[in-house]
A and B are shown apart, each in its own frame.
Chain A
Amino acid sequence: MSIDPRDLRYERYEVEELYYEYVECLDDEELERWPEFFVEDCLYKIIPRENFERNLPIALMRCESKGMLKDRVTTVRETSVYAPRSLRHLLSNIRIKGNDNGQLRVQANYAVLETLPDEETRVFNAGKYVDLVVREDGKLRFKEKLCVFDSLLVPGSLIYPI
């Protein structure tokens, strides 16, 4: 199969846009928009590298449908009790690793900075996204998104999705 480099460039642009828009949504705390980056039948997990590499299935957040993503948003907004904070995501090394029948395997590095009241900004979480991206209604969306983070030890609580 021959590959048209122009197509790849456009695909790359679209994928990068998806990731930039995704983290912008989280940084701006527009959580209600967050589930819309996923298809209905999706999987979202935040999982320590230790578990990921040893095939241990426990995840800090595990959403098995868009409905569960929405439930997460509801709890963050309405039921959980926590100190106010702001988060900022830094992205790098977005790589399209492969294309399985229209499902793009994409990886990217991320770092999340957290700012709490009375505190200096700190590196809160760093890791990589290991994702499956599909096209639905002409728009790229996540079919699967794994946030595999480097340090098992989480400072305080991990409240907002990554």
Chain B
Amino acid sequence: MVLRRFLTALALAAIGCCWLAARAPAARAEPYGQFYRPQDTWNVLETKYFRIYYTQDTPKSAAYLRTLADSTFERLNQFYGYQPPTKIRVIIVGYTTFSNGFADSDHDRITIFTSTPDFHSRSRVPWFDNVFTHELAHILSLNTATHWWKRVPLVLGTGLARFQQAQTLIKLPIYGRNFPHWFAEGVAQFDTSLLGRDAFDENRGAFQRAAYEDRLMFPLEKLPFFGGEQWYNTGLSFLMYLEDRFGTGTVHRLFKDTGEHFDYLFDELFPRVLGIPLADLERDFRIVVAKRFDDHFAAVSGGRYDGKPLRFEHATAKYRDLEPEQRDQMREGFLGMPLRYLDGKLFFRQVGVVTYGDFSAKDGTLTNVKPLSPGSVVAPNSSDSYFVLKPERDDNPLIPTFFRPEFESQMLVLADTDGNTRTLLRESRLSEIDTCAARSELAGIYDDGDGSVKLALYKLSGFGTKAVAVRRDTLRFPLNELPFDEVRSPRYGPDCKKLYFSRRIGHDHDLFAYDLTTGALETIASEPAFELYPDPVRDGVYYVSSRDGTMNVYFKPYDDTAPRLVTQAITGHHHPIDTPDALVFGRLYGTGFQMHTQRHDEAPPPAAMIAVAEKDSPAPKPPLEGLLEDAYGYNPVSPKNLMPPSLVPLIDVEYDSARSWDGAVRIQAGVELYMQDEIARHVLLMRGYTGDQNSFLLDYDNSMLPVSFRVRAGWNDARGLWVYGGTGGRYEQITNDRWGFLWGSLRLPLNLFYTVSAVAETIRDVGVTTGARARQFDLGDPAYGRELFGGVLTYDGLDRRDPAFRERDINKRGYRQFTLAGYYGLERVHSTLARQDSTLRAGATPFFRGELNYSEFLALPALADGWFDQSLQFDLTLGYISADLDFFPFYGGGRLYSQAAPEYNASVGFSGYDFGSLRGETLANVGVRYRGPLARNLGWNIGPFFLNDVYFQVFTSWGNIWGYDPTGRRQRPFVDPASNGRYVLGDVGADLRLGHFIQQVESNVGTTLRLVYRLVPFSTCSDGSRNRSCIGPNGERGFMFYFIVGGGF
């Protein structure tokens, strides 16, 4: 009967979701990892060493990868001799404008997002060659350097202790791989450079000089905490230094030795292999870096032509007067990249906002600064309205930012100086734009998602008016097609007859002008170096070139004379913008780009004639035709498309002083297995423990259809010894407690934020057997049971599956999430129990259950020059059950769980009260939390423990859980007291939150020390009596303590 109802509910839910699917809007970019796009057709291409997965959106990338992959493997593997157990898989994802690659070395798997990035700190080599080689180097080097078996990434120990007024939870991982980021990223770049696809070139040199100059070149021991680009830059530079100092093969010797020994403390590697401690090696390396900087400083005239920092009106501090840590904390106030000089105003980008102001070349100041719109670039429409490319999903103020940077392509909007914006193109795939009034035209850089960024032209209607529109049908690509084309920085000339841009030719970028009338292509600069960022003016073109090894600004007259040097950068100059009296450009600092200005009369004197170097013709790309003919369709259930499993051994210890029924101590051990197919169409998780409690959890998720489904099943069996007193002594009984659950859902994502689900669930408590007795209950006829059938609407304002997701970053942006659920339920109580306890109601009791969980996370403006990044969180929980239940009503009270019983973790709670001390059928709870820093960027480490931040949190929660009076009358929320005798309960608390991690693995471990004070104690027991022993600690004001290690930061 139950099974029939369950199946009926599932069928109804399936029909409902299919109906919704039919009405769902066309899917756009979907989250990474889910790969759920019904319109995609995945194909597989096999080479000697690789299996390449691609869709109809990325055939060129797949074909080109085929020409590149095997030879790259053979060349790289000469260093390592790694033998992958199966073919290395490469997943090509093309539907986003996210640009990156990832290597999952545990599974010999590479993911490449095929959008060519814009760069300012990476190599000149074509990006696709670079990223593939880099990620493959990770696969080979990390596997060579891993002493543990790679299918076991970690061993996880969990511990739990519960006392009446204190609880402790510890999750302690031991990682098999113990390398800092700089070591892993450094060797990937090092290997890539050995193949000629990366180098410590002008950009890397500039980045290192900038960090050194600002005293922000972090010590290696600090790089586990912060680093970002320094993981790559310092890593490569340091490993190259070691290779120079100790001879060819040193870097690979280090990696091979790491594979032969497990160093719980990474630093032990260096004395063993090189005979010198890491600290001594780093000291010598820094001497080399300092000399490199001094030599460069002398070569660029001591910075005389480096420009001067553009000063913002109301600036309270000078960057150079700050301490290094202050520079980093206050960085956003100084950042700026010039974009355009339009209508007498300088437009620039600052922290994702297009801003403008009045620029004075005379005193180098910017006044009357105003934001135009969130966005990255700007182009003119009229004197008070501008085209802006801004992040998708940032246009609706009711919906907070969905944090997934660059995943959706930017949208084109028209923004006016009154703060209004109007959307012109959604998901435009454009990254840079310019407009021409005379031609009513918009030029942009268009990402085709298959490795190319092309020059695109759109016709506009109503140009110069607020009714301007993009004529979508006029989209055209005027340039000849080049494989893996990379065009950047389109800029119309002053007379609008030519369109200037940079374009990759071979291993660098050159400047060209496209004649809009004739279609002819004119070369402006094509030396064997970067030529970027054309800014055409009346008599010539400003641009940046690295012709002498530094990114400096040059000016090339239209009269075909040689270019002249305009600036000399201590670090690097980018994006020059001409203004009537001065040049403004982005100057690289240790914290990012800041705007510098140099008056035209301050340019260096004309040097001797610059000899323009000739550039060799680049080698043609191999033909790609016919390379996909033997590809075949992707089968998500084929064994060769299943990712090898990950296995995590688990050890769990629990101590619960309140549990006398089956022993206070429980020790379990087990293993967790995770596997999925290569593009995550279906995923399986199994977790089994055995010991004093045996448990098994199976979790399967399938996204092969427009409506996804997920099934979870769990079973628990706990054996214990019940010790009790009786006449004549102390007696013991063996106990055995069993229960299980089955849960299934059908899930339909409505858009990036909303998901609707149909859920069915049953929980069966088979009960406790004591001593040598027959078991009275079974799964079909349990002691207690509960069935739920219903629907859930969830809103998730962030995507934690984003490859770039970091909890700390998202916490600074704010987000919202909520879950609204409604269920029809049945509670089952066995008649045997009802005979023994007259308060129980035998048989099936139908009920309705509704729940709302709402959280709003607000990032408040940072104080103390950006150091105090405070945040406020608001939580609301409401719940209603229509009947008086004995089994699984709402529970309240703080309770920590180890991994042994994950299915209980859904309870709500007031952390100042005992778990289970609040229970009932009507729930209301409001919580407010405020967080702020006590210490940031500490960078402390003791052995394997790395401590970075210390934050505090103060919080309070108010509400209650109401049930039924002993007379059977339902208690009315806030009108009647609940069974605990109170109308409203409340607590206040404070946390000390430590942001830390273990070994060199930057994971979200975190420790919380929590102290909660019960402001409103219980006044009665649930039966209405005032017996203190029943009320326990909840009957008095007092503290609850929590100590959580590994619970996240």
Partners in one complex: no
